[in-house]
Structure 1
């Protein structure tokens, strides 16, 4: 480790003959460099170098270094700042876990109720709700009520009640299965 720190210090010195300067490193071992680009009017370019053993898909650059690479921040993040960010991420994960546990402990409205629902009241002792105190039905309701009562009387007497025609009876199977196109004969166009 002492050799690494000495090497980092030596490479971070901005000596005039150097083409690239070490700016820092992250906790994953990636190193960040700055060099003068001769093609773009001497502007400094920033890059990251990672271990050659690491696959491209496994390279992770933390947000502070990503900001530095994209010139969002001018100074490089320190090791202490990176460690505090890791602590913040761990605290955030713990708080999210606690929130998930709290959410899971509450009953959901989508779940089936655990208690038995009371049966609906069929009879009441309230005098205002009995048939004697009920107002007279509207005229359109009496017609429907009379038709229903007439059908009930016919059934009791043994008469046949004409069954209501089912409008969907002919539509069985696939829609359009019984469709037959009409014959078409072209007519002369009228002017």
Structure 2
């Protein structure tokens, strides 16, 4: 009660006063205006804080900074300062939720984890080769797909006559062209620093 009466008394713009109290923030700092000696039509703006507070611990809110730098004409009210504190708490809460969502997602910088369930599912999709497919005498013969193969779902299993009589192998038309050039086997020589011209 006494503080409020003192603030009201100091905020009155009486003609004999040199400085006028404009307001205070939530930290207890008071903000004043006084007439400039060099320019009588302009008021200087200052902040006064508790003398017991260390100068490095003084905190001035952005709204009061704007008022001190003449960015805003009217000083901020107590309600505006309280709403700004609520806004800051909401921003911190949203930032914490965003950090938690970001941390829950896997990172591309982490090493891939080897899981045994992935290997077993890969074996179930692509089963090992059957004995009929490995019993082919010619390695160049086309492989016979199993009925469970996802690449050829409509193929039928090979009969005994198809396994014993494989299809003839077609000749590669580019085989002769590959072996006819003299520079096919050329390789550059290694550098030898001891050799002289």
| TM-score, structure 2 as length reference | 0.63
Instruction: Give me the CA root mean square deviation.
Output: 3.6
Q: Mind listing any 5+ residue stretches in structure 2 that lack a counterpart?
A: 134-140, 144-168
Aligned match of 2:55 = 56
1:139 counterpart (150, 159, 178): 178
SS of 1:64's equivalent in the other structure is: helix
1:134/1:19 CA distance change after superposition, 3 Å: farther
Q: In structure 1, what is the Cα distance between the partners aligned to 2:57 and 2:26?
A: 15
* 1:122-173 superposed Cα distances (whole Å, 9 cap, x missing partner): x998949xxx56853563897687679xxxxxxxxxxxxxxx9654999xxx
Q: In structure 2, what is the Cα distance between the partners aligned to 1:168 and 1:5?
A: 95
Q: In structure 2, what is the Cα distance between the partners aligned to 1:20 and 1:140?
A: 102
Aligned match of 2:42 = 43
Q: Mind listing any 5+ residue stretches in structure 1 that lack a counterpart?
A: 149-163, 171-191
Aligned match of 1:70 = 69
Shift of 1:3: 1.0
Note if 1:17 corresponds to 2:21.
no
Mapping of 1:54-133 within 5 angstroms?
54-115=53-114, 127=142
* 1:71-123 superposed Cα distances (whole Å, 9 cap, x missing partner): 1111010001000000000110010000000000000011111135879x9x9
Shift of 1:54: 1.3
* 1:15-57 superposed Cα distances (whole Å, 9 cap, x missing partner): 1111000000000000000111122234111100001111111
The count of aligned residue pairs is 149
SS of 1:115's equivalent in the other structure is: coil
Q: In structure 1, what is the Cα distance between the partners aligned to 2:60 and 2:186?
A: 81
Aligned match of 2:3 = 4
